[in-house]
Amino acid sequence: MKDTINHTPTKPTAEEPFKSTRNACKLCAPLGASVAFKGIRGCVPIIHGSQGCATYIRRYLISHYKEPVDIASSNFSEESTIFGGGANCHAAIDNVIRQYQPEVIGMATTCLSETIGDDVKFYIETYKELTNRTELPQFVTASTPSYQGSHMDGFHEAVTSIVKSMAETGELGEHLNIFPGFVSPEDLRQIKTILEDFGIDYILLPDYSETLDNPIWDAYKRIPDGGTPIESVKKCGSARASIEFGTILNKGSLAGRVKNNAQATSAGDYLESTFGVENRRMPMPIGVSSCDTFFETLKEVSGKEIPLKYKKERGRLIDSYVDGHKYIFGKKAVVYGEEDFVVGMTAFLNEIGIEVALAVSGGESGHLEEEIKKYCPENSDSILVKNGWDYELIHEWCAENKPDILIGNSKAYYIARELGIPIVRCGFPIHDRIGGQRIKHLGYTGTQELFDQITNTLIGYKQDHSEVGYKYM
């Protein structure tokens, strides 16, 4: 099958201009910002734009996380579109303070408010001057027009804005900053467990492990418990080091606004340049190699040995690679989703012998191919890597090339169903299954669960399509 893979791009060429996106392989920037804001204790997000934007974001988050998610809106009308949304912004802040008494208000812009040039920071300063309240929440703003990025760009823009607005200088501490990226609540809990087992003092930002995956309540809470406290964010500027998962981060959005991407900074970059906090950036720790990088970095910056528990997890994972190798080696996979997710997952699949035929994202950073080549050097020429694709382009490619498995979120299910290809759901969003918020992707145990699921999906597909029913492998 390797010889029949068609690496010819099916996206229109310069001779045939691109006309439209059909079923985008990305989500809107303020959605990502809303997830980041939900990871701050006592924070209520406000979407500065139309009501429909906030409704869409709530629908997507509720469907994936299966939790109530309050997202406020400044509720633009035709009048505010023409004359500006200052009055709407002030009304939204008033309503949120009155109903929620938040510690933080995170305000993300939309295509509409950015297009008309609304100055949200000016509106907030004006609000502070006009109000008679002696105590106000902390305000954080994120510029998140969806025409310049994806939900990942919005997420990282919000995290960086949080750090820029709150971090302070101070005496050097022993704590570490951990910027995990857009991962599942279960991944966040897994990271915290690892750090606690090391005995490391840490600041995890953002931390929506409880706010978007709550235990059952006796009574409804307008603002869920959990999240990174403001006091902790302030200490980010005095950390011993930062660890940042992801190598692409928000380059897609900033590349469109900053010439040559020269000033494009993540939260870790900002802390390093402003406060001198060393930033250790690495791919998402999926797979033995990337997990080793994470654990060795923790060992180095903390001066503490890797706990025996994780050495055993690593050993069991490698043993399972041997057990499952004959069922998965040489299989052709399509990986799709957020760019850093695709980089991490492609490196993991390359590690276990699955050939990634197509690695694709709706993100438009232009860095996806170089990052995949960096972490899959021996097979990089055989991997077709595409930025800015939609699901219909993925659909057309799969119909022609017939991969063995799809790996990514639930939005490609229709492709798997129509073409009869097995699919492993992971990443975000997962709308057609329970437990998307509890999928582990990171660490040795997260990798173990992914490996077992992928291997068993391929075994099950072969078993179900066998002319001879068999009960033993």
- CATH classification at residue 423: 3.40.50.1980
Q: Is the pLDDT of residue 192 over 80?
A: yes
242 and 329 inside one domain: no
199 and 54 inside one domain: yes
Which residues have a Cβ under 8 Å from the Cβ of 368 and sit 6 or more positions away?
248, 339, 342, 343, 359, 361, 385, 386, 387
How far apart, in whole angstroms, are the C-alpha atoms of residue 70 and residue 307? 40
24: β partners = 390
Classify residue 470: in a domain, yes or no.
no
68 and 8 inside one domain: no
256 and 383 inside one domain: no
How far apart, in whole angstroms, are the C-alpha atoms of residue 21 and residue 435? 30
120-134, 144-158, 251-265, 314-328: which is most confident: 314-328
Q: Is the pLDDT of residue 2 over 50?
A: no
Contact assessment for residue 66 and residue 39, using Cβ atoms and an 8 Å cutoff: no
pLDDT in tens, 423-439: 999 999 999 999 999 99
The whole-number average pLDDT for the span 329-342 is 97
- Among candidate residues 282, 312, 331, the one where a domain is terminated: 282
Predicted confidence at residue 469, as pLDDT, reads 78
Q: pLDDT band at residue 364, thresholds of 50, 70 and 90?
A: confident
How far apart, in whole angstroms, are the C-alpha atoms of residue 388 and residue 386? 7
The whole-number average pLDDT for the span 44-63 is 95
pLDDT above 90 covers a percentage of the chain that reads 84
Q: Is the pLDDT of residue 258 over 50?
A: no
Predicted confidence at residue 451, as pLDDT, reads 98
Q: pLDDT band at residue 223, thresholds of 50, 70 and 90?
A: very high
234 and 144 inside one domain: yes
273 and 417 inside one domain: no
Predicted confidence at residue 288, as pLDDT, reads 98
Which residues have a Cβ under 8 Å from the Cβ of 231 and sit 6 or more positions away?
none
Q: Angle at CA 24, nearest 5°, toward 84 and 248?
A: 85
220 and 359 inside one domain: no
How far apart, in whole angstroms, are the C-alpha atoms of residue 92 and residue 73? 7
- Among candidate residues 227, 254, 282, the one where a domain is terminated: 282
Listing DSSP states for 415-462 in one string gives HHHHHT--EEE-SS---SSS-GGG---SHHHHHHHHHHHHHHHHHHHH
Q: pLDDT band at residue 260, thresholds of 50, 70 and 90?
A: very low
3-class SS at 66? Answer: coil
Classify residue 96: in a domain, yes or no.
yes
Q: What is residue 228's DSSP assignment? A: B
Q: Is the pLDDT of residue 421 over 70?
A: yes
The whole-number average pLDDT for the span 220-248 is 96
The whole-number average pLDDT for the span 401-408 is 98
Question: Could you tell me the residue range of the domain that residue 377 belongs to?
Answer: 2-20+322-464
Q: 133: how many CB neighbours lie within 10 A of its CB?
A: 10
- Among candidate residues 282, 307, 334, the one where a domain is terminated: 282
How far apart, in whole angstroms, are the C-alpha atoms of residue 443 and residue 339? 19
Encoding tokens for residue 166?
A: 């709150």
The whole-number average pLDDT for the span 249-253 is 69
Predicted confidence at residue 9, as pLDDT, reads 47
Classify residue 307: in a domain, yes or no.
no
Q: Give the chain's domain count.
A: 2
Predicted confidence at residue 166, as pLDDT, reads 97
Classify residue 252: in a domain, yes or no.
yes
How far apart, in whole angstroms, are the C-alpha atoms of residue 307 and residue 287? 18
Nearest to 243 by CA among 193, 187, 195: 195
Lowest mean pLDDT among 261-270, 295-304, 462-471: 261-270
The whole-number average pLDDT for the span 86-103 is 96
Say which residue the tokens 């072969």 belong to.
462
36 and 16 inside one domain: no
How far apart, in whole angstroms, are the C-alpha atoms of residue 380 and residue 172? 42
52 and 148 inside one domain: yes
44: β partners = 105
Q: Is the pLDDT of residue 156 over 50?
A: yes
Nearest to 177 by CA among 42, 302, 307: 302
108 and 39 inside one domain: yes
How far apart, in whole angstroms, are the C-alpha atoms of residue 440 and residue 37? 22
How far apart, in whole angstroms, are the C-alpha atoms of residue 110 and residue 28? 9
Nearest to 182 by CA among 163, 201, 207, 215: 207
Residue 252 to residues 27, 284, 387, Cα–Cα distance (Å): 13, 18, 10
147 and 271 inside one domain: yes
Listing DSSP states for 187-213 in one string gives HHHHHHHHHHHHT--EEESS--TTTTS
Classify residue 287: in a domain, yes or no.
no
Q: Angle at CA 77, nearest 5°, toward 75 and 82?
A: 125
Q: Is the pLDDT of residue 87 over 50?
A: yes
Predicted confidence at residue 21, as pLDDT, reads 81
Classify residue 44: in a domain, yes or no.
yes
3-class SS at 85? Answer: coil
Q: 324: how many CB neighbours lie within 10 A of its CB?
A: 20
pLDDT in tens, 21-34: 889 999 999 999 99
The whole-number average pLDDT for the span 71-97 is 91
How far apart, in whole angstroms, are the C-alpha atoms of residue 64 and residue 32? 13
The whole-number average pLDDT for the span 68-88 is 89
Classify residue 370: in a domain, yes or no.
yes
Contact assessment for residue 36 and residue 10, using Cβ atoms and an 8 Å cutoff: no
Classify residue 218: in a domain, yes or no.
yes
57 and 91 inside one domain: yes
279: β partners = 242
How far apart, in whole angstroms, are the C-alpha atoms of residue 316 and residue 342? 25
How far apart, in whole angstroms, are the C-alpha atoms of residue 35 and residue 45? 9
How far apart, in whole angstroms, are the C-alpha atoms of residue 334 and residue 358? 5
